[in-house]
């Protein structure tokens, strides 16, 4: 599907303009402390002309055999903030009681980020660091999320391929 740059896009947001809109697809999850799983996901990136995008994501666990939804899973929201030269800050919060500050770089259809700070409520699971990579591959949004949590070192946790939604 063709993507058109919005007229009021802030110039600093240009390296991530391809992410604007709604994306849907499926992914996989794995980590030493949990069973492997498959999930469906929707990401929404919106903007109003200022140098940031609003981000909202929701996911649900799917049955690997039927592809049917089993239960709701993660929710996260935040602001992807742009600085000159492709530098990016991302402030993100999760329904699980975790908040994060990410820093990274956007260029060439790729966004590479790492956590700078992680905060959590007393009921949230232990999580200490993350790394996210988003890429525009053949018009799809591919991403990978590595995490350090529950006493484990930074390692792959989630990966998915999402397509731009037609609404």
Q: pLDDT by residue (tens digit) across 112-131?
A: 999 999 999 999 999 999 99
Q: What is the pTM of this model?
A: 0.95
CA distances from 5 to 43, 79, 148 (A): 18, 19, 36
pLDDT bracket for residue 4 (50, 70, 90): confident
Query: Taking 70 as the threshold, does the pLDDT of residue 2 lie above it?
Result: no
Residue 153's φ and ψ, nearest 5 degrees, are -75, 165
Distance CA 4, CA 94 (A): 30
Annotated binding site: 33, 125, 157
Domains of the chain: 11-164 (2.40.128.20)
* R_g of the chain computed on alpha carbons: 16
**Length of the chain in residues, anyone?**
167
Distance CA 143, CA 134 (A): 4
Mean predicted lDDT score pLDDT of the chain? 96
Q: pLDDT by residue (tens digit) across 24-43?
A: 999 999 999 999 999 999 99
pLDDT bracket for residue 167 (50, 70, 90): low
% of the chain surpassing 90 pLDDT:
95
Q: pLDDT by residue (tens digit) across 67-96?
A: 999 999 999 999 999 999 999 999 999 999
Confidence (pLDDT) at 65:
93
Distance CA 48, CA 19 (A): 14
Q: Taken in order 18, 93, 54, 70, is the CA torsion positive or negative?
A: positive
Annotated binding site for heme b: 33, 125, 157
Cβ-based burial of 1 (10 A; exposed 0-12, middle 13-18, buried ≥19):
exposed
């Amino acid at each position: 599907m063709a993507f058109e740059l919005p007229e009021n896009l802030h110039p600093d947001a240009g390296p991530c303009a391809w992410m604007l809109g709604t994306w849907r697809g499926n992914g996989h999850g794995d980590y030493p402390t949990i069973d492997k799983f498959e999930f469906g996901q929707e990401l929404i990136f919106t903007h109003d002309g200022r140098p940031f995008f609003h981000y909202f994501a929701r996911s649900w666990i799917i049955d690997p055999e039927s592809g049917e939804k089993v239960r709701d899973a993660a929710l996260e929201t935040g602001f992807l903030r742009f600085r000159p030269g492709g530098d990016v800050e991302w402030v993100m919060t999760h329904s699980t009681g975790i908040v994060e500050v990410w820093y990274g770089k956007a260029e060439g259809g790729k966004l590479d980020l790492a956590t700078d700070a992680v905060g959590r409520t007393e009921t949230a699971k232990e999580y200490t660091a993350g790394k996210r990579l988003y890429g525009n591959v053949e018009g799809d949004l591919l991403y990978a999320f590595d995490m350090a949590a529950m006493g484990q070192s930074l390692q792959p946790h989630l990966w998915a391929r999402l397509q731009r939604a037609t609404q």
